[in-house]
Each structure stands twice: as C-alpha cells, then as structure tokens.
Amino acid sequence: MCAIKYEEVPLGRVNLSHRRPTNLKRFWYGAAYYPEHWDEATRARDAERMAAAGMNVVRMAEFAADLMEPRQGEYDFSLFDETSAKLGEKGVHTIMCTPTAAPARWLTRDCPEILRVNADGKTMQHGSRQHCCHASPVLRQWSRAITQKMAEHYRDNPFVIGWQTDNEFHCHFSECHCPNCQKAFVEFLRHKYENDIGKLNTAWGTAFWALTFERFEDITTPKPDLPAYENPAWRLDYCRYLAHTVATFQHEQVAILRENNPDWFVMHNGVIFSHLDNLGLLGQDIDFHGYDCYPFFLADPDERGHTQASGLNRARACGGNFIIPEMQSGPGGQKPYLQNNPEPGEMRKMALLSVAHGADSLLHFRWRTCRFGAEEYWCGILDHDNVPRRRYEEAAQQGRELAVIGSKILGTHVFVDAAVAYTDMEVNDSHNSYPLGLPAPGKVAEDCHRQLWQRGMAVGYVHPLDDLAGIKLYVIPHLAYFDPAWLQNLTRFVENGGTLVIGARTATRDVNNNVVGETLPGALQSLAGITVEEYGRQNEPVKRLLSIDLGGALVPSTLWYEILEPKGKATRLYPWRGRHLDGRCAVSLNQVDKGRVVYAGTYFDDPVFSALLPELIRLSGLQPAWPGLPPRVEAVLRTDGKKNIWFFFNHSDDTVTIPSLPRGKELTTGKNTDGTYELPRYGVAVIDAFGNQ
Ligand code: GAL
Ligand code: ZN
C-alpha cells in the first residue's frame, strides 16, 4: 500500500492565469447522463434525441461504482461500453468519471475504517455520498485500482474524450477526524516543519494555554470549541492538510489517467467548495477546472444575473477558462426544497452567460429527471415520463446556437479591466478561524464585484499573484491573511499605472495565521504610505457615530474604524467625522510612480463602497464595458486580441432597447447589427464584431 507523498507541489502556487483559455479544440455541448437509472426501452431514443438537440457529449459513471465493480476485483463496464458506443454512432462522445465519491457497499462493509468521522466523532455511513476519507490507504488503493481498470478499458475507445475525477470534492463536508486522518495529519506536519517540533511550536504559538507539543505524534486534528476556542494557526494548518489530502488523492488518479492516454483531458467539477487548493496542486494537475452552475439556488430572480456572473468569475480566477460539467436545466429539488422553475428562455440565457464568462464547453444537469433516490426532483431536460417538452426544445435551440458560437470563442479569454482580489482558500480559512463577527472577505469581495457589475464594468476576480496587466482598478477588500510574497506583483501593478484599493485590516495576519508584529498595515505599510495608529470594532447598536467625510457628504462607518497616518508623499483623501476621530485620516491616497494606492480605514459595506466608487473610477480611468446600456443589461467581451465576441444579456423583466451594439454579425440570428437593438426578457445577443471594436 502506497503511503501519501508529502513531497508534492506546495499549496497555493499560482501560475494559472485568469486569462488562460482551455486547451479544447472543440466546444462540447451535452448533458450528464445516467444510463444506470433507466431500462433499455427508456434509453432507446436517447442517442437520437441528444444528437437532434445538437449535443456532442455526455458525462457518465461518477456514481456507478456498484455496477462497474459489483464485487471486489470483478469488473463489468458493459453498460457504459454499450451506451458510449450507441451515443458515439450518433456523434455524442463521452466524458468518463472516476466513481470514487461513492464506493460500492462491499468496500464500506469489509473496510469500515474508510468512513469519515466528523468533528463530533460521528462516523458517516454508506447510503449517500462523500462518506469516505481521502486519507484512508484502503480508499486510495481502491481508487487507484478502479481508475487503472477504467483507464485501461477505455484508453483505445475513440468516443471517450476525457475524464472527470471523482465528483465535487468537499461538496457536502470536508473535515475528517478519523484515525487515518490523525496519522496523516501528523505526517503532514512532520513534513511541513521538517520533523522539528520546535518549529511547529513557534509557528503555532503553542506557548498560549499550554498547547506546547513535545512530539509530533501527540498532535490531533483540531475539533472546534472543545470546550473553548482553538488556536487559529493549528486550524489553518489543518485546513491546509485537508486541501493537500484531497489534492494528493486526485493526483494519484490523474497520474494513472495520463499514463494510459495522454490525449485525454482531465478536469474536476469542484472549484467553489472549501479547502480546495484550486490554484495549487489540485488545479495544476488538471487541464482545466469544471464549475457546476446552479443560479436557482438563489430564490430572488433579480439577484441571479449578478450571482451567476460572480460565481463564474470566481471559477475563472482559479486558472482561466473552464467547462460547465453541470448547468442548471430545470428546477433543482432535494428532500427539503424545490427551486423555482426557469421560465421559457431562462435556461438558455443562463447557459450563454456561462459561455460569456469563460465556459469553453457546457453540459446540462441532467439529461432526464430520475424517478428515485435522493434527487428525484432535480429536474433535467426531459421529465420523468421521458416526453420532450419546452426544456428539450430550448436545449436544442442552444445546440444550434452553440454550434456557431462555440468554435468562435475557443482560444479567447474574458476581458476584464476591473478586478476584486480572489479570496483563496487560505484567506477564507484564516478568516473563519478568527472572524471577530466581521463579514468574510469573500462576501465583501462579492459585494464590491456586484457594485462594479451594476455600473456596467468589465469586472472579475483575480488573485494578487496573477497577471494584473490591463487591469485599471484592483480592490483588495479585507484580506487579513496576506502573504508578503504577493507584494512584488502588487507594487509592479501600481508602478505601471494601476489603482490599488485596499480595505481595512488587510495584511494583519501572517502566513502562520498569527497577528503580525509590525505596525499595521504590516507588509503593505510602505506601498500604501500609511500607518494605522488606532483601530476599533464597531458593534450594534452603533451610537457613537463615525462617518467618512466625502467633501460634505457623510457616509457612516458601522463595522470597523482605523485612524490612518499618511507618511511621505501620501495624502489624506477623506477625513473622519465624529468622536475622537474627528479630522483624522479615514481614507488615504498614495501616488506611486504612474499609479496610486487608496487605503480605506473602514469596511466596504454597500453604503461605503458605493460612496467611494465614483472617485475610484475617476482615479483609475475605468469605463463601462459597453457604453449606453439600459439598466440590468450586461455586456461581456471574449477576445483573443484580434477577434472580439460580444455578449449582451437582458437580466431585466422587460424588453429593453439597446441604443447601439458593436457592428458585426449577431450569431444567434445570423444578421448584421445595425442601429438600435431590442432584447426581450431573457434575451441574449452574441456579436462577432467587425474589426477591432
Ligand atoms: C451537484 C452534484 C450532482 C448533483 C447536483 C444536483 O452538486 O455534482 O451530482 O447532486 O449537484 O444536486
Ligand atoms: Zn479521515
């Protein structure tokens, strides 16, 4: 049995740019397909119907371990062989999946030690999914064996084009405190701290509350609040351990798949879940990420345009363009809920929005709604009775449109010139380890992103280490966890003319997740040109009012204040009003070479950020992506520098008139644009622009 190797790539290495296109040569369009849920008579017409809807791919087998290996070492791939052959004849290819999110019952029966244990000590059971521990040597051995068998079996199959590893790592929960994890966590730490327990004690600050460890083997996984608060450095290393464990679990599968057929692409449909090192080992191992897109988790239709765009942009921050292995195709339903039904045209709008924001292929979830099991009401393109209705017609319309659009957008990236810092796993975990009741940086980032989006800006999320060229305005909300290694890239961005906006509390914690000892804002002191002389939390009810004075207009601060002291050439942009802060610096401006840094000594809640935004836009020279759009119409540009494909979406409930569009060919109608353009409710225009517009 092979032990987990900890010499793998370190966590969080960023060289996957948000501008990276996928390496796909063809736009794949299709659906997640579960032949194991249907009898032959029901399946009989599937291939023909898929092909008629313009589909050229399905994803299969991620939950079929019981069928493919009914007893240990006895393999039966016949259903998938037969299905992929039948589909292949009609031009529908297959993305295979490793079925490791739900092993067969014989494995959990014979080796119950593979089951996960939660922080309360409860052992998971067979019957749903994600109940097995990624650190379990037994699970890993089985994972390698089934991956090897499947890879050998399908390596010469002309219809199998690529793979998905597992399914949505950490979707349900990610912690594990089983005996395997106790051992593996110790090994992880031993490797990280070079077998020197003194180094660990210093890094974690174990002098506090007699935490000092004498030996690595005495360390356990941290269980929150037993009875009082845990050490945040211990917690962050545990989160890193979880991320590393799942990444090395995937790594073993990827190595086998690549060895068997280097032409296959390999992806994983995770990205949004916690403790995933999307920019590090997990992301570096795969060709591109998969992002499962379900905008209807949000009940308010007015918010879905932005939240979908935001989710897609977050996915793109993790390594560029991606594919959508699961795109909402009907209302989702599980035991406690059933989402709203997408109205006619809405499914298409959502699918094309995904393409605009970086999807280089797209599969609907799912082909047909299942009649049994935990997701009986997770609605697919076909209903339970297998009768094609409006969702099928709409899917077919998309098939026709994507046949034209798909080939045009491959090789392009999404244009952004405004960006909010992508809050990576360590930023989020650090915040969660010590939130002080403040909003999470990821949440504030989303709010800032929304405000820029509402003003029509070409906004995305970009990691501080990523390529910031071409970005005019870059906002770092409140990244308490801040790696000083990010500083050089940010400095270059500012020197080259960028406007960097930093929110309070940024760079207050170090990479061990302890509070920094330097005067705040720590590593950012010289770039921002300030020191923080005093800070304080503001709690409800906020009766001692503090406001930022924007030339007479007072904007209340309600969560946090900092008194700033500008140094050198830095100046006070806006002063505080109220209490002992009156007249002191609230927001500073530091001109650095061709660019500038704005530091705000408060939290970017909606009133504060919207009040600051006009000046930030002015300073940075930012312009809307496309001028003159009516409210709630979104423009997105995909470009490779030469060709420009513009997307326009009507997120409002009414027909809107757009005064002018880029001149070019509208790809869903085939007609040239000329003058004004009407977009009905859920309307989309996709324009292959003439020349360089
Ligand atoms: C995803 C998952 C699918 C299915 C779908 C609907 O999270 O990958 O297997 O569960 O959601 O809930
Ligand atoms: Zn475990």
Percent of the chain with pLDDT over 70: 98
Q: What is the pLDDT of residues 146-188, one digit of tens each?
A: 999 999 999 999 999 999 999 999 999 899 999 999 999 999 9
Is residue 641 scored above 50 in pLDDT? yes
Tell me the CA–centroid distance for residue 441 and ligand 1, in Å. Answer: 26
- Dist. CA 310–CA 80, nearest whole Å: 36
Is residue 293 scored above 50 in pLDDT? yes
Q: Is residue 481 part of a domain?
A: yes
Q: Which two tokens stand for residue 435?
A: 């939130």
Last-in-domain residue among 620, 645, 660:
620
Q: Tell whether 270 and 321 lie within a shared domain.
A: yes
Question: Would you place residue 281 in the very low, low, confident or very high pLDDT band (cuts 50, 70, 90)?
Answer: confident
CA distances from 669 to 230, 348, 528, 666 (A): 60, 15, 50, 6
Is residue 4 scored above 80 in pLDDT? no
Q: Tell whether 548 and 573 lie within a shared domain.
A: yes
State the average pLDDT over residues 513-538.
98
Is residue 693 scored above 90 in pLDDT? no
Which pLDDT belongs to residue 593?
A: 98
Is residue 687 scored above 70 in pLDDT? yes
Beta bridge partners of 639: 413, 644
Strands 322-328 and 359-365: parallel
Tell me the CA–centroid distance for residue 33 and ligand 2, in Å. Answer: 31
Cβ–ligand 1 distance for 168 under 6 Å, the answer yes
Cβ–ligand 1 distance for 21 under 6 Å, the answer no
Q: Tell whether 563 and 685 lie within a shared domain.
A: no
Last-in-domain residue among 594, 620, 646:
620
Is residue 2 scored above 60 in pLDDT? no
Q: Which two tokens stand for residue 467?
A: 């390529």
Which pLDDT belongs to residue 5?
A: 46
Is residue 111 scored above 70 in pLDDT? yes
Tell me the CA–centroid distance for residue 149 and ligand 2, in Å. Answer: 25
Q: Tell whether 60 and 102 lie within a shared domain.
A: yes
Q: Tell whether 432 and 540 lie within a shared domain.
A: yes
CB 392 within 8 A of CB 617: no
Q: Is residue 200 part of a domain?
A: no
Which pLDDT belongs to residue 13?
A: 58
- Dist. CA 345–CA 680, nearest whole Å: 10
Beta bridge partners of 546: 557
Residue whose CB lies within 8 A of the most ligand 1 atoms, among 63, 267, 291, 292, for a mutation test: 292
CA distances from 663 to 406, 533, 680, 687, 692 (A): 20, 54, 20, 8, 10
CB 499 within 8 A of CB 527: no
Q: Tell whether 573 and 643 lie within a shared domain.
A: no
Q: Is residue 486 part of a domain?
A: yes
Q: What is the pLDDT of residues 344-363, one digit of tens each?
A: 999 999 999 999 999 999 99
Provide the CATH number for the domain around residue 366: 3.20.20.80
Residue whose CB lies within 8 A of the most ligand 1 atoms, among 59, 97, 167, 291, for a mutation test: 167
CB 426 within 8 A of CB 236: yes
- Dist. CA 652–CA 638, nearest whole Å: 22
Q: Is residue 11 part of a domain?
A: no
Q: Tell whether 465 and 317 lie within a shared domain.
A: no
Q: Is residue 184 part of a domain?
A: no
Provide the CATH number for the domain around residue 681: 2.60.40.1180
Q: Tell whether 443 and 525 lie within a shared domain.
A: yes
Atom of ligand 1 nearest to the CA of 62: 9
Q: What is the pLDDT of residues 546-604, one digit of tens each?
A: 999 999 999 999 999 999 999 999 999 999 999 999 999 999 999 999 999 999 999 99
Ligand nearest to the CA of 366: 1
Tell me the CA–centroid distance for residue 7 and ligand 2, in Å. Answer: 20
Atom of ligand 1 nearest to the CA of 325: 8
Q: Is residue 124 part of a domain?
A: yes
Q: Tell whether 470 and 387 lie within a shared domain.
A: no
Cβ–ligand 1 distance for 326 under 6 Å, the answer yes
CA distances from 610 to 78, 196, 414, 447, 606 (A): 59, 49, 25, 10, 6
Q: Which among 3, 21, 44 has a CA at the least distance from the CA of 140?
A: 3
Residue whose CB lies within 8 A of the most ligand 1 atoms, among 365, 366, 377, for a mutation test: 365
Question: What is the value of pTM for the model shown?
Answer: 0.96
Count: domains in the chain: 3
Q: What is the pLDDT of residues 365-411, one digit of tens each?
A: 999 999 999 999 999 999 999 999 999 999 999 999 999 999 999 99
* SS3 label, residue 557: strand
Q: Is residue 478 part of a domain?
A: yes
Is residue 6 scored above 60 in pLDDT? no
Cβ–ligand 1 distance for 29 under 6 Å, the answer no
Beta bridge partners of 295: none
Tell me the CA–centroid distance for residue 100 and ligand 1, in Å. Answer: 15
Last-in-domain residue among 620, 642, 671:
620
Q: Which among 614, 592, 231, 291 has a CA at the least distance from the CA of 461?
A: 291
Cβ–ligand 1 distance for 166 under 6 Å, the answer no
Tell me the CA–centroid distance for residue 394 and ligand 1, in Å. Answer: 22
Cβ–ligand 1 distance for 604 under 6 Å, the answer no
Cβ–ligand 1 distance for 332 under 6 Å, the answer yes
Q: Tell whether 440 and 319 lie within a shared domain.
A: no
- Dist. CA 203–CA 217, nearest whole Å: 17
Which pLDDT belongs to residue 225?
A: 83
Q: Tell whether 36 and 137 lie within a shared domain.
A: yes
Provide the CATH number for the domain around residue 611: 3.40.50.880
Is residue 436 scored above 80 in pLDDT? yes
Residue whose CB lies within 8 A of the most ligand 1 atoms, among 326, 327, 366, 367, for a mutation test: 326
Which pLDDT belongs to residue 16?
A: 77
Q: Is residue 213 part of a domain?
A: no
* Cis-peptide, bond into residue 541, ω within 30° of zero: yes
Q: Tell whether 404 and 539 lie within a shared domain.
A: no
Question: Would you place residue 664 in the very low, low, confident or very high pLDDT band (cuts 50, 70, 90)?
Answer: very high
Q: What is the pLDDT of residues 42-96, one digit of tens each?
A: 999 999 999 999 999 999 999 999 999 999 999 999 999 999 999 999 999 999 9
Cβ-Cβ contacts under 8 Å for 116 (sequence gap 6 or more): 123, 124, 130, 131, 132, 133, 173, 176, 178
Question: Would you place residue 1 in the very low, low, confident or very high pLDDT band (cuts 50, 70, 90)?
Answer: very low
Q: Which residue has the tokens 């109205």?
A: 343
Tell me the CA–centroid distance for residue 172 and ligand 1, in Å. Answer: 10
Q: What is the pLDDT of residues 224-263, one digit of tens each?
A: 888 999 999 999 999 999 999 999 999 999 999 999 999 9
Which pLDDT belongs to residue 487?
A: 97
Domain that holds residue 29: 16-174+261-411
Is residue 9 scored above 50 in pLDDT? no
